[in-house]
Amino acid sequence: MGYQFDSPKALENLNALAGTSLERVEDPDTLANYLARLPVTESSKLRHLMVQRLIRMKFLDRFRVNRAFLVAIDGTGWLTYHERHCEHCLTRTHDNVTVYYHPVLEAKLVTPDGLAISLATEFIENPEGWTKQDCKQDCESKAFHRLVERLKKSFPKMSICLLLDGLYAQQPVLDRCAEYDWHYFITFKEGSMPARFEEYERLKALQPANRLQRDGDDDDDARQEFAWINGLPIGPHQANVLECREVRANGDAKKFVWLTDFALDQHNAASLAQRVGRQRWKIENQGFNIQKNHGYNLEHAYSEHEQAAKNFYVLLQIAHMIMQLLENGSLLPDVVQAFGSKRALSHRLLECLRNNLLPSDALDLAATAAIQIRLRDSDSG
């Protein structure tokens, strides 16, 4: 990056954007040193303000279901070392080989259009001074409760529907959803809650009217068979269960089962399965996979310093958010057609920053505040 921005006009543009008067573009090591001193709460605050702006301008309203935003929570690998990196490292030993690693737990707002916007991050790590004799290592289940507390504090009035995998099919998670008045769609597997799953199977057999079948539009489309029950007791909660079985023309079949607090009937079962239940995969496919394998290098250690690495992680989430808005924006198809590809467009934007001064109106905060962000094929701002 020091080479890419090594031009007089790039320096002038960066000074204009940042409100600074630097005489040279800072070295990347300077950024790492700065991020080593910056509290992670500050970079997280920037992410929060950006998401809050999108919500207030109603940019994401059309993706709500029953007024709730879909928020997927899932963990993923982040940094891995063959030697201890810091005292907070988690450890895993297999065949006498010990690996030191740092996973993260993410909450991302997901949409059917493929957006996966980071709302909050919880770093899964052992506490200072931790030893195996003290207690178990930190884990995704423990981090979940820390993450949702932060999410509730950051967005206290936002209506949320959590999309969770089978790890979270447990009463404490339902307790938390009830406390925060959040909806939920949780993958329900026999191994998660065996007794409750067995009871669901019995109740399903007693309610044959709770069935729905939808045939695919084309020969290659899967036929979908839905079944559901309302009122499965889990502690003090009355959960509902929705099942979707897909059968393709070649006989291949898949089955999905979810726990939810949405009341189910003939009118909404199919819609909720598609618009809500199936959206959990967006955090993996449009979130983690893109960030690991399409240029963001999520698993790269941008800094060995613990605090700097966390700030780099949050900045990566912000960069991905900005890129998603560009890639899904209403202007992109025409612009890409003019330049040939998104990669070519990116090179042109960089060359523009290196060789042309930004116009004054691009730096007018009052003028830019009126800009509306629109998705492709959408009239909503």
pLDDT at 6: 84
With 0-12 / 13-18 / 19 or more C-beta atoms within 10 angstroms meaning exposed / middle / buried, residue 179 is exposed
pLDDT at 200: 97
pLDDT at 379: 43
Q: 253: number of CA atoms within 13 Å, CB side?
A: 7
Whether residue 28 is found in the same domain as residue 55: no
pLDDT at 344: 86
Last residue of a domain, one of 328, 343, 360: 328
Q: How many angstroms separate the CA atoms of 178 and 76, rounded?
A: 26
CATH of the domain at 117: 3.90.350.10
Note down the domain range covering 133: 44-328
Yes or no: say if 79 and 172 are a contact pair by the CB < 8 Å rule: no
Whether residue 89 is found in the same domain as residue 122: yes
pLDDT in tens, 117-146: 999 999 999 988 777 766 789 999 999 999
H-run or E-run covering 108? strand 97-110
pLDDT at 381: 36
pLDDT at 380: 40
- Ranges under pLDDT 50 in the chain: 378-381
pLDDT at 220: 59
- In 214-245, which positions are buried (b, 16+ CB within 10 angstroms) versus exposed (e)? beeeeeeebebbbbbbbebebeeeebbbbbbb
Give how many domains the chain has, as a whole number. Answer: 2
The pTM score is 0.92
